Amino acid sequence: MAEVQLEADAKAAGAGGRPLTQKSESLWQDALRRLVRNRAAVLGLSIILLLVLTALFAPWIAVRSYEVQVLVDQHHVPEWVLTVFPSMKPYAKVSTEYPLGADYVGRDLFSRIVYGARVSLTVAFIGPLISLLIGVVYGSISGYFGGRVDNIMMRIVDVLYAFPSLLFIILLMAFFRGTISDIQPGTVAYTISSLDKATGGLLFIFVGIGLTSWETMARLTRGQVLSIREKEFVEAAHTIGATNGRIMFRHILPNILGPLVVAETLAIPGYISTEAFLSFIGLGVNPPTPSWGSMISDGSRAIRSYPNEAIFPALALAITMFAFNFLGDGLRDALDPRLRGTQ
């Protein structure tokens, strides 16, 4: 009886001793399992979620509004900051009303850092979205149709690549900011200017990032489409009469989405640093909207006397960029098909 039972168990088991009735994991389920096992990626995701909650509930987390100035409290610091930066003791003014201190016009640093998370996270999510929308569509058309269409479209990308993207954004911001001051109400330019002011100066940053960030995504998408379009399942779809749109959205894009998402996640720190740099040189968000870049710029003017005013926003910026880097590395490992099924 024991031998009969063992034979029955062997027939019920598949390769590797797994039961034949066991449902295999999909690519995304396996990727999620491996992502959760990556401690650095989980840490990065946790920090990002914490930052998102901080940005959403900034009015309740901040001690006071970010634009409130109390001139008599300029450069005030709490006692623990003097312990961290003992060089400030001879001239610093101690106050318990500011968790991280006050800046040169008496604005609360902690509140401005909290509200500054909104700017950085907005750029972190809008930037990749613009890049994906433009780059994926452009690269998919170029790679799928190939031939002369591919040649012309890629030469356009090569021309855009020849111009330094950061310099282009700086010139674009300087042009828009220099020409919107003398516009008449009721015009398109006035509407754009009003929208830019309503977003705190972020509109032109999105325009600059959107015009320069999609070229790399277009090239990556084109390469992925070229490697997929000759596969057997695509040929089978052509054989049964599937339209080009159906083949692209149902067969090609789902198979190239993983590398594209990983590439954009790894590019997010670049978008954040671009916004911080623009704000640092005065071409970013409009004052008094807080940005970590503008806060670092303001604090750098007195960094030897009051280092907390530059170091604390710089730490917030660095932690955010590290978090997205950790998450991007984890996604790259999790979505690598060569690692599927590994622990």
Q: Are 78 and 96 in contact (CB under 8 A)?
A: yes
Strand pairing class (76-77; 93-94):
parallel
Structure confidence at residue 340 (pLDDT): 53
Task: Report pLDDT for 237.
Answer: 76
Average pLDDT for residues 102-121, to the nearest whole number? Answer: 92
Phi, psi dihedrals of residue 105, rounded to the nearest 5°? -120, 15
- Whether the ω angle into residue 78 lies within 30 degrees of 0, i.e. cis, is no
Tokens 């950061």 belong to residue:
166
Q: Where are the alpha helices (DSSP H) in 38-92?
A: 39-56, 58-61, 79-84
What are the C-alpha distances in Å from 231 to residues 13, 185, 225, 249, 255? 32, 56, 10, 15, 11
Name the CA radius of gyration of the chain, rounded. 26
According to the model, what pLDDT value does residue 179 have?
65
User: What DSSP line would sit under 87-124, residue for residue?
Assistant: GGTTTPEE-SS-SS-B-TTS-BHHHHHHHHHHHHHHHH
Identify the band that residue 234 occupies on the pLDDT scale cut at 50, 70 and 90: confident
Residue 46 has pLDDT above 90, yes or no: yes
The torsion angles phi and psi of 158, rounded to 5 degrees, stand at -60, -40
**Using CB atoms within 10 A of its CB, is residue 151 exposed (0-12), middle (13-18) or buried (19+)?**
exposed
pLDDT band at 336 (very low <50, low <70, confident <90, very high): low
pLDDT by residue (tens digit) across 271-329?
Answer: 999 899 989 988 888 888 899 999 999 999 888 889 999 999 999 999 999 999 999 88
Q: How far apart are CA 54 and CA 79, in angstroms?
A: 25
DSSP 287: T
Could you give the CA distance from residue 323 to residue 43 in angstroms, rounded to a whole number?
7
Average pLDDT over residues 111-125: 92
Instruction: Name which residue leads in pLDDT, 188 or 292.
Output: 292
Query: Does position 2 have pLDDT exceeding 60, yes or no?
Result: no
Return the DSSP state at 254.
H
Lowest mean pLDDT segment, chosen from 20-34, 168-182, 243-257 = 20-34
Nearest to 274 by CA among 331, 211, 180, 328: 211
Find where tokens 């806060």 sit: 295
Separation of alpha carbons 10 and 32, rounded Å:
31
> What residues are paired with 77 via a beta bridge?
94
The one-letter amino acid code at 336 reads D
Amino acid 225 reads: V
Q: How high is the pLDDT of residue 183?
A: 66
pLDDT at 284: 82
Residue type at 332 in one-letter notation:
R
CA distance 51 to 117: 7
- The secondary structure of residue 1, as a DSSP letter, is -
Among residues 113, 115, 61, which one has the least CA distance to residue 313?
113
Q: What is the pLDDT of residues 51-60, one digit of tens each?
A: 999 999 999 9
Whether residue 261 contacts residue 335, with contact meaning beta carbons closer than 8 Å, is answered with: yes
pTM of the model: 0.83
- Report which DSSP code applies to 86: G
3-39 residue pLDDT tens: 444 454 544 444 444 444 455 556 667 777 777 888 8
Say if residue 186's pLDDT is above 50.
Answer: yes
- Please state, in angstroms and rounded to a whole number, the distance separating the CA atoms of residues 58 and 173: 28
Tokens of 107: 């604005």
Indicate if the pLDDT at residue 342 is higher than 70.
Answer: no
